[in-house]
Structure 1
Amino acid sequence: MFYSNSWTKCLICLIFITSGNSECPIPQVEGNQNVVLTNDALLKNDFPEGSEGTFQCANGYMKEQGSERITCTSGEWSTLELICKKKDCGAPKEMPHLTYEFNKEGTLFGATARAICDKGYQVQGSSYRQCYATGWSGRSRCEVVTCEEPIDIMNGMISEKPAKQFPEYGDVIQYSCDEGYTLIGNKSIQCNEDGEYNSFLPECKDVNDIPLKPKTISASITTSTVPPTIQASITTTSTVPPTIQVSGRHHGIGEHDINAVTTNAAAVGSVICIVIAATLIVLFVVLCFHKKKGSYQTGEDSRRKEELLQFQNDLS
């Protein structure tokens, strides 16, 4: 009986020692961030001989090949053969006038894409989108650029415009003037890709409000003679506006230049002729004045007059 109890105690100890040596530690995967333990495996505290540990792919990854299970044998875990790869979000949904620019990850988990609109369109929604485990984040679309509502101009009107209230990119607005007015500037403006018009609004002006400068040429001569002092003064005034040059095909002198030169030469020639005629008149007046002065003094020789007086004295 004594021996029987002793053998029983030894057998129990042997079983306890043997079972303790065959238990495995909590399974871990070193250097592989794409694989994680399942929730069931995380809740277990003991992994005895023959037990299994289960794994799964991390968030954003999917199974490519291999088994998700490992087995505890003689206190050691078998090798994990599970291989996971990144999920592919694929290309975002196509939208009109919209394209995407991807980073080096392309369309795989963690990648980013920048939304780009065609010319004349602008992004509405997300400018950047990212590939998550559930797919692409956000939404993007492209809407056409619009400009401010066109306004009327004084003494004119809008002759042609699109039916919509706010013109869109590429739309053209035509202007015209009322009768009796002339349009200054561009008769049409266009909505640009930045939401602004490509030109300032035109103006309508009355041509009669623009004064024209007259071309005048004047010449005057003033002559005065007061004996015995004779004064003569000549004053000439010529007003000739600047010549408008019109270049010919070979950069020659235009017809306007030739007419202006001819007019100036004629005016100068007329003034010179008038000056010469006035000078001759003055000389004639001077000569006449001197002749009248000599006849008043009898024009007799003074020596001859003395001889006559001496002769009369001798007779007396």
Structure 2
Amino acid sequence: MFYSNSWTKCLIYLIFITSGNSECPKPQVERNQNVVLTNDALLKNDFPEGSEVLFQCTNGYMKAQGSESITCTSGEWSTLELICKKKDCGVPKEMPHLTYEFDKEGTLFGASARAICDKGYQVQGSSYRQCYATGWSGRSRCEVVTCEEPIDIMNGMISEKPDKQFPEYGDVIQYSCDEGYTLIGNISIECEEDGEYSFLPECKDVNDIPLKPTTISASITTSTVPPTIQGTHHSIGEHDTNTATKSPLDRDKVR
């Protein structure tokens, strides 16, 4: 009887030790696995032999492959096979005159996109959008640029303009001058992409506008008449000719 009771106690002790050694520690995962324990697994403190716990993908990630569970066997956990990948927000909804410039993450969770409008349009809403677990943040749209209401000019008037209070990008306003005035500059102005107008024309009194100087080209006339030689000395040819034309009486005087 004594031996029987001792053996029973030893057996119970061995079972206790064995069962105690079969417990697994609280499961741990590496951060770069992008997985976490489910809420039920987090609330447990004891993980005896045969226990099973579940994992799930972290916020912004979704299951790509593998099992979400691991099992405690002989005091060790089985290998977690769950692989998670980033969620893809996809390309934001198309809007008129709007395109997006994406960063290196593209359209995956954590990525950012910059809203870009066509020339003459400006962003309304979010200039930058972020890809969250629930999708893209914010909203973006492009609206046409407008200019202030056009003004009249001194001694002139608006002769033609769009049928709207505030002209839009590309709209043209034309001017004309009152009688007796002339227009200096372009006859029209245009609403530009920055919401400003090109330079306004001016109307000036025609009498105040200086005339352009007239260029007169003078012609130089070259005379072909040789200059007159004055003096008392003659060349040899001239002396002989004069002597030959004198009368005989004059020739005798010369002798």
TM-score range, shorter chain: 0.7 to 0.9
Q: Secondary structure at the match of 2:20?
A: helix
1:244 aligns with 2:214: yes
Match of 2:16 in 1: 16
Q: CA deviation at 1:212?
A: 6.8
Question: Does the 8 Å CA contact 1:105/1:111 hold for their aligned counterparts?
Answer: yes
Deviations, residues 172-194 of structure 1 (Å, cap 9, x unaligned): 00001122221122110001111
Deviations, residues 101-151 of structure 1 (Å, cap 9, x unaligned): 111111011111111100001111111111111111111111111111100
Match of 1:53 in 2: 53
User: What is the one-letter code of the residue matched to 1:97?
Assistant: H
Question: Structure 2 matches for 1:271-310, cutoff 5 A?
Answer: none
| Residues 1:37 and 1:110: Cα distance change in structure 2 (over 3 Å) | same
User: What is the one-letter code of the residue matched to 1:12?
Assistant: I
Q: Which has the higher helix share?
A: 1
Question: Does the 8 Å CA contact 1:33/1:58 hold for their aligned counterparts?
Answer: no
Match of 1:194 in 2: 194
Q: CA deviation at 1:211?
A: 6.9
Question: Does the 8 Å CA contact 1:157/1:178 hold for their aligned counterparts?
Answer: yes
Bigger-Rg structure (1/2):
1
Q: CA deviation at 1:46?
A: 0.7
Q: TM-score, normalised by structure 2?
A: 0.81
Aligned Cα RMSD in Å? 2.0
**d(CA) in 2 for partners of 1:48, 1:212:** 108
Unaligned runs of 5+ in 1: 214-242, 246-256, 266-316
Match of 1:144 in 2: 144
1:36 aligns with 2:6: no
Q: TM-score, normalised by structure 1?
A: 0.66
The percent of aligned pairs where both chains have the same amino acid is 89
Deviations, residues 53-93 of structure 1 (Å, cap 9, x unaligned): 21011111000111100000111111111111100000011
Q: Secondary structure at the match of 1:175?
A: strand
1:204 aligns with 2:209: no
Match of 2:108 in 1: 108
1:76 aligns with 2:46: no
**d(CA) in 2 for partners of 1:212, 1:53:** 98
Q: CA deviation at 1:2?
A: 3.6
| Residues 1:133 and 1:31: Cα distance change in structure 2 (over 3 Å) | closer
**d(CA) in 2 for partners of 1:92, 1:132:** 12
Q: Secondary structure at the match of 2:116?
A: strand
Match of 1:127 in 2: 127
Question: Structure 2 matches for 1:152-163, cutoff 5 A?
Answer: 152-163=152-163
Q: Secondary structure at the match of 1:142?
A: strand
**d(CA) in 1 for partners of 2:46, 2:79:** 19
Number of matched pairs:
220
Q: CA deviation at 1:156?
A: 1.4
Q: Secondary structure at the match of 2:32?
A: coil
Deviations, residues 175-233 of structure 1 (Å, cap 9, x unaligned): 011222211221100011111112x22122221344779xxxxxxxxxxxxxxxxxxxx
